[in-house]
């Protein structure tokens, strides 16, 4: 996952996509913070599962911020948070929608 994020950062830098560059740098900073904490506790470096956890936490935070901005009538900032969410989601596995979950459960029961 680190390699994917760093490759996307390099490409975004070349494309001069400022929003994507800043979001990917935030992701790398969060991963580095977790690495430092793990090293201090004598644990292994951050795994891909840990990175997925970090990304989902970042999405949750941005959803809360976007809601707060919308309530405060700051639609420009809410839009920025939503853009960051879409950038972060690109690194997460595709989520099943409700119908797919129901279908999978029905198949499992059969």
Output the tens digit of pLDDT for each of the chain's 110 residues.
899 999 999 999 999 999 999 999 999 999 999 999 988 888 888 899 999 999 999 999 999 999 999 999 999 999 999 999 999 999 998 776 778 778 878 888 88
The rounded distance, in Å, linking the Cα atoms of 60 and 92 is 13
The rounded distance, in Å, linking the Cα atoms of 29 and 86 is 18
- C-alpha torsion sign, points 5, 28, 63, 16: negative
Which residue has 């989520």 as its token pair? 95
The rounded distance, in Å, linking the Cα atoms of 28 and 57 is 14
Second-level CATH architecture of 2-109: Orthogonal Bundle (1.10)
Instruction: Report whether 63 contacts 71 (CB < 8 A).
Output: no
Instruction: Report whether 91 contacts 55 (CB < 8 A).
Output: yes
The reported pTM is 0.80
The rounded distance, in Å, linking the Cα atoms of 56 and 94 is 13
Say how many C-beta atoms besides its own lie within 10 A of residue 23's C-beta: 24
């Amino acid at each position: 996952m680190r390699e994917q994020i760093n490759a996307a950062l390099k490409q975004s830098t070349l494309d001069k996509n400022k929003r994507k560059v800043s979001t990917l740098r935030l992701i790398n900073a969060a991963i580095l913070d977790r690495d430092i904490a793990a090293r201090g506790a004598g644990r292994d470096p951050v795994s891909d599962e840990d990175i997925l956890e970090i990304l989902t936490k970042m999405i949750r935070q941005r959803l809360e911020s976007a809601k707060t901005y919308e309530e405060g009538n700051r639609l420009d900032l809410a839009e920025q948070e939503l853009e960051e969410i879409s950038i972060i989601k690109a690194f997460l596995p595709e989520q099943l929608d409700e119908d797919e979950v129901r279908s999978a459960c029905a198949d499992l029961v059969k």
